[in-house]
């Protein structure tokens, strides 16, 4: 059977118009592809024999066309290396201007982001090799909309051991990120007749967004020094979305008395508690706060993610559900995007079962604790600023002096100097006339970049 390409075995799409002659048409087609950017500089072209066979031309025609473009400076031919694109000559103009490069902050101190430079690459590679070595062919086929059973087994054991979650693999659904899971759940609740959901105030905008997109009415649930004021929930509230282990953004855990009161509300009204275990793995100088789900597993949806432990790019999250909700979530998942990518699930399952995941989190906890202490010590040297919410998590809340610059002014000045921070005002249900503050994430920069980012932050704070 003849080979498609000889030597290089490369595919190349050419719009060949031979009306003015085959050689002329080939030259014009190659010039257009280079000019339009479809053949960027450095692209290796098929051999003359292979391209001639594909286009039904003589090899001499292709050789002559290549030679003409070499003379024009558009192609480069080196013995033994083939023919490559030299790039667009200086007198040529691209058909469309290049898209601007995405802008990234020079110093990223936004909350909720991990240090992705510390991703456990070696452990991930080792787990990937193990997974692929023993993978059956069906692993590369269509996935399970509920998630791979291997990962669900691993999570059931891990969450029970580390977070006090009571579950079995049958009650876990894997999603492509926490955002997707909460969106699917909100849609299921709306379809089931729930019209109102309470969200923490201040609280994560994600909660408000997914609730409203599903057509539910979002009701503000105030937060104080003891967490969400659950006594304000009513029988008309169908669900409550909250972060009880480490409230976002204040950092306070939900008081034990309120945890019990919240579960009692759910049992008496049939309301659903949606628990985002925000930063549950990262605690520094306080005892671990177990998941709320362990108190009332039949009334709590527990949400977790690998975004802050490994990295957001993995798009791996999980929901532990009361039994009646499992088939409804699985059906919603099928209608959304069928299933989550399989290999990543299997690799994460391997990391968990071999305890490489635990080792990575413990190392990250020590690293983030050192960063937090450096931040707290430096804040103490600046009069008027106070830091809150630091016993756990990946960020600190910095309240501002009453006679100093506003939150907006600090965020604007920081952005002007490449310093990205978070603001407190927009996290309130009604932003107007609410307390102001800065959310300082201490996880995102690399080990080398964090001290530099702190210098930029405290230059900003001290100059006002």
Task: Using CB atoms within 10 Å of the CB of residue 211, give its burial: 0 to 12 exposed, 13 to 18 middle, 19+ buried.
Answer: buried
Q: Contact, 318 vs 174, CB < 8 A?
A: yes
The reported pLDDT for the residue numbered 9 is 64
Q: Mean pLDDT: which of 4-13, 49-58, 325-334, 403-412 is highest?
A: 325-334
Residue 249: asked if its preceding bond is cis (omega within 30°), the reply is yes
What distance in Å separates the CA atoms of residue 422 and residue 279, rounded to the nearest whole number?
17
The reported pLDDT for the residue numbered 13 is 82
The region of weakest confidence among 15-19, 51-55, 141-145, 178-182 is: 15-19
Q: Contact, 58 vs 52, CB < 8 A?
A: yes
The reported pLDDT for the residue numbered 98 is 54
Q: How confident is the model at residue 216 (pLDDT cuts 50, 70, 90)?
A: very high
The set of residues, in sequence order, having a beta carbon less than 8 Å from that of 69 and lying 6+ positions away, is 27, 30, 31, 75
Q: What is the CATH architecture assignment of 1-99?
A: Orthogonal Bundle (1.10)
Where b means 16+ CB within 10 Å and e means fewer, 53-85 reads: bbbebeeebbbebbebbeeeebbbeeeeebbbb
What distance in Å separates the CA atoms of residue 209 and residue 427, rounded to the nearest whole number?
12
445 vs 13, which has greater pLDDT?
445
Average pLDDT over residues 166-170: 98
What distance in Å separates the CA atoms of residue 186 and residue 241, rounded to the nearest whole number?
10
* pLDDT 10s digits, 22-44: 888 899 999 988 888 889 998 99
Mean pLDDT score across all residues of the chain: 91
What distance in Å separates the CA atoms of residue 4 and residue 357, rounded to the nearest whole number?
46
The reported pLDDT for the residue numbered 402 is 87
DSSP 249: T
Average pLDDT over residues 377-387: 91
pTM of the model: 0.85
The region of weakest confidence among 60-64, 127-131, 172-176 is: 60-64
In sequence order, the β-bridge partners of residue 388 are 397
* pLDDT 10s digits, 334-353: 999 999 999 999 999 999 99
What distance in Å separates the CA atoms of residue 144 and residue 138, rounded to the nearest whole number?
11
The reported pLDDT for the residue numbered 3 is 38
361 vs 73, which has greater pLDDT?
361
Q: How confident is the model at residue 79 (pLDDT cuts 50, 70, 90)?
A: confident
133, pLDDT greater than 80: yes
The string of DSSP letters for 312-347 reads: GGG--EEEE--GGGHHHHHHHHHHHTS---HHHHHH
For the 108-112+362-462 domain, the top CATH level (class) is alpha beta
Average pLDDT over residues 410-430: 93
**Token digits of residue 74:** 């558009």
Q: How confident is the model at residue 17 (pLDDT cuts 50, 70, 90)?
A: confident
The reported pLDDT for the residue numbered 96 is 53
In three-state secondary structure terms, 273 is: strand
Q: Contact, 318 vs 173, CB < 8 A?
A: yes
The region of weakest confidence among 159-173, 345-359, 375-389 is: 375-389
Q: How confident is the model at residue 6 (pLDDT cuts 50, 70, 90)?
A: very low
Residue 32: asked if its preceding bond is cis (omega within 30°), the reply is no
Average pLDDT over residues 388-392: 88
The region of weakest confidence among 58-67, 408-417, 427-436 is: 427-436
Domain at 118-354, CATH from 3.30.360.10, 3.40.980.10, 3.40.50.300, 3.40.640.10:
3.40.640.10
What distance in Å separates the CA atoms of residue 302 and residue 276, rounded to the nearest whole number?
6
Average pLDDT over residues 49-74: 89
442 phi, psi to nearest 5 deg: -115, 20
* pLDDT 10s digits, 263-317: 999 999 999 999 999 778 898 887 778 999 999 999 999 999 999 999 999 999 9
The reported pLDDT for the residue numbered 2 is 38
What distance in Å separates the CA atoms of residue 48 and residue 257, rounded to the nearest whole number?
79
Parse the chain into domains and list their residue ranges: 1-99, 108-112+362-462, 118-354
Percent of the chain with pLDDT over 90: 74
67, pLDDT greater than 60: yes
């Amino acid at each position: 059977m003849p080979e498609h390409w000889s030597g290089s075995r490369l595919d190349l799409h050419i719009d060949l118009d031979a009306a003015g002659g085959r050689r002329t048409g080939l030259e014009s087609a190659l010039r257009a592809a280079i000019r339009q950017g479809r053949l960027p500089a450095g692209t290796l072209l098929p051999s003359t024999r292979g391209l001639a066979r594909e286009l039904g031309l003589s090899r001499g025609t292709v050789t002559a066309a290549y030679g003409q473009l070499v003379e024009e400076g558009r192609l480069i031919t080196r013995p033994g290396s083939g023919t490559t694109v030299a790039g667009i000559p200086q007198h040529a103009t691209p058909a469309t201007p290049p898209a601007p490069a995405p802008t990234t902050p020079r110093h990223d101190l936004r909350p909720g982001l991990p240090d992705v430079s510390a991703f456990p690459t070696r452990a991930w590679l080792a787990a990937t090799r193990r997974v692929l070595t023993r993978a059956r062919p069906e692993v590369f086929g269509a996935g399970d909309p509920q998630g791979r059973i291997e990962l669900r087994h691993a999570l059931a054991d891990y969450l029970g051991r580390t977070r006090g979650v009571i579950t079995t693999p049958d009650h876990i659904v894997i999603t492509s990120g926490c955002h997707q899971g909460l969106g699917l759940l909100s849609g299921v609740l709306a379809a089931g007749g729930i019209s109102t959901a309470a969200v923490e105030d201040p609280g994560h905008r994600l909660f408000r967004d997914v609730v409203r997109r599903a057509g539910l009415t979002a009701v503000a649930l105030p937060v104080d020094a003891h967490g969400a004021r659950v006594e304000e929930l009513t029988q008309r509230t169908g669900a409550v979305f909250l972060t009880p282990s480490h409230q976002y953004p204040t950092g306070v855990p939900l008081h034990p008395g309120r945890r019990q009161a919240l579960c009692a509300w759910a049992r008496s009204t049939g309301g659903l508690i949606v628990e985002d275990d925000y930063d549950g793995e990262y605690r520094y100088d306080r005892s671990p706060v177990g998941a709320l789900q362990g108190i009332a597993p039949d009334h709590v949806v527990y949400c977790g993610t690998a975004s802050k432990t490994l990295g957001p790019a993995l798009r791996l999250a999980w929901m532990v559900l009361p039994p009646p909700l499992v088939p409804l979530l699985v059906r919603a998942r099928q209608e959304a995007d069928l299933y989550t990518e399989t290999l990543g699930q299997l690799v994460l399952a391997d990391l968990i079962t071999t305890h490489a995941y635990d080792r990575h989190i413990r190392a990250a906890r020590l690293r983030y604790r050192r960063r937090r202490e450096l931040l707290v010590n430096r804040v103490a040297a600046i009069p008027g600023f106070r830091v809150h919410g630091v016993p756990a998590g990946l960020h600190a809340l910095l309240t501002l002096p009453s006679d100093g610059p506003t939150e907006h002014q600090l965020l604007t000045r920081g952005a002007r100097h490449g310093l990205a921070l978070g603001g407190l005002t927009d996290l309130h249900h009604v932003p107007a006339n609410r307390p102001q503050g800065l959310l300082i994430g201490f996880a995102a920069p690399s080990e080398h970049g964090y001290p530099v980012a702190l210098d930029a932050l405290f230059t900003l704070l001290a100059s006002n």
